[in-house]
Chains A and B, each alone.
Chain A
Amino acid sequence: GNSVTQMEGPVTLSEEAFLTINCTYTATGYPSLFWYVQYPGEGLQLLLKATKADDKGSNKGFEATYRKETTSFHLEKGSVQVSDSAVYFCAITNSGGYQKVTFGTGTKLQVIP
Chain B
Amino acid sequence: EVQLVESGGGLVQPGGSLRLSCEASGFFFRNFAMHWVRQAPGKGLEYVAGISSNAGNTYYVDSVRDRFTISRDNSNNTLYLQMGSLRAEDMAVYYCARSGWLRGHFDYWGQGAQVTVSS
Partners in one complex: no
